[in-house]
Chains A and B, each alone.
Chain A
Amino acid sequence: MDNILEVKNLNCIFNKGRKTQVNALKDVSFELKAGECLGIIGESGSGKSTSARIITRLVKASDGEVVIDGRSSSDISNKELYKIVQMVFQTPVESFNPRVKLGDGVGESLRNNGVSKSETKERVEKLLVECGLPKEYYDKYPHEVSGGECQRAAIARALANEPKILICDEATSSLDVTVQKEIIALLNGIREKRGSDISIMFISHDIALVQQFCDKVVVMNKGQVVEKGDANEIIMNSKEDYTKKLIASVL
Chain B
Amino acid sequence: MKNIISYDNVEIKYGDNIAVTDISFGVGKGEILGIVGESGSGKSTIIKAAMGLLGEGGTVSGGDILYNNRSLLNVSKKERLNINGPELGMIFQFAGSSFCPVRKIGTQLYEVVKAHKDISKEEFHSQVNELLDKLGFEDTVRILESYPNELSGGMQQRVGIVAAMLLNPKVLLADEPTSAMDVTIQKQAVEEMLKVRDVFGTSIILVTHNIGVVNAMADNLLVLRHGHIVEMGKTDDVINNPSEDYTKKLMEAVPRIKVSN
Binding site for B on A (CB under 8 A): 14, 16-17, 20, 22, 41-46, 48-50, 90-91, 93-94, 143-149, 151-152, 169-170, 173-181, 205-209, 211-212, 232, 235-236, 245-247, 249-251
Contacts of B186 in A (CB 8 A): 205, 249, 251
Listed stretches B123-131, B211-219, B229-237; interface member: B211-219
Listed stretches B77-85, B91-99, B196-204; interface member: B91-99
Residue from B44, B154, B186, B261 having most chain A Cβ neighbours under 10 A: B154
A43 engages B93 (CB within 8 Å): no
Contacts of B152 in A (CB 8 A): 44-45, 48-50
Listed stretches B5-13, B66-74, B252-260; interface member: B252-260
Which residue of the partner chain B has the closest CB to A149?
B40
Minimum C-beta distance from B173 to chain A (A):
15
Contacts of B18 in A (CB 8 A): none
Minimum C-beta distance from B17 to chain A (A):
10
CA distance A219 to B196 in the complex (A): 32
Which residue of A22, A93, A170, A181 is within 8 Å of B153 (Cβ)? A170
B154 engages A45 (CB within 8 Å): yes
Which residue of the partner chain A has the closest CB to B135?
A44
Which residue of the partner chain B has the closest CB to A22?
B142
A251 engages B94 (CB within 8 Å): no
Minimum C-beta distance from B106 to chain A (A):
13
B39 engages A250 (CB within 8 Å): no
Minimum C-beta distance from A202 to chain B (A):
13
Contacts of A181 in B (CB 8 A): 253
Interface string of B141-179 (1 = CB under 8 A from A): 110011000111111001000000000000000001001
Given A94-B96, A177-B250; A251-B39 close (CB under 8 Å): no
Interface string of B178-216 (1 = CB under 8 A from A): 011111111100100000000000000000011111011
